Amino acid sequence: MSKVLSSYLPGYEGINELLYSGGVVLPYILLTSIVLWLLICERIWTLYFAYSSVLQPLTVRWQAVACYEAPRRKKIRAQLESEARVSLSATLSFISTLVTVSPLLGLLGTTIGMVEIFDVVAVSGSGNVRAMAAGVGQCTLSTMAGLVVALPGLYWVHLLTKRIERLMDDFSREMAID
The Cα 17–Cα 1 span in angstroms is 15
Q: What are 48-67's pLDDT values in tens digits?
A: 999 889 899 998 998 888 78
Q: What are 98-131's pLDDT values in tens digits?
A: 999 999 999 999 888 888 788 777 777 766 677 6
Identify whether 10 is part of a domain.
Answer: no
Closest CA to 26 of 144, 116, 166: 144
Q: Which residue has the higher pLDDT, 115 or 45?
A: 45
Domain carrying residue 81: 25-174
pTM higher than 0.85, yes or no? no
Please tell me the total count of domains within the chain. 1
Q: What are 78-97's pLDDT values in tens digits?
A: 999 999 999 999 999 999 99
Identify whether 11 is part of a domain.
Answer: no
Identify whether 130 is part of a domain.
Answer: yes
Query: What letter does residue 10 receive in the DSSP assignment?
Result: T
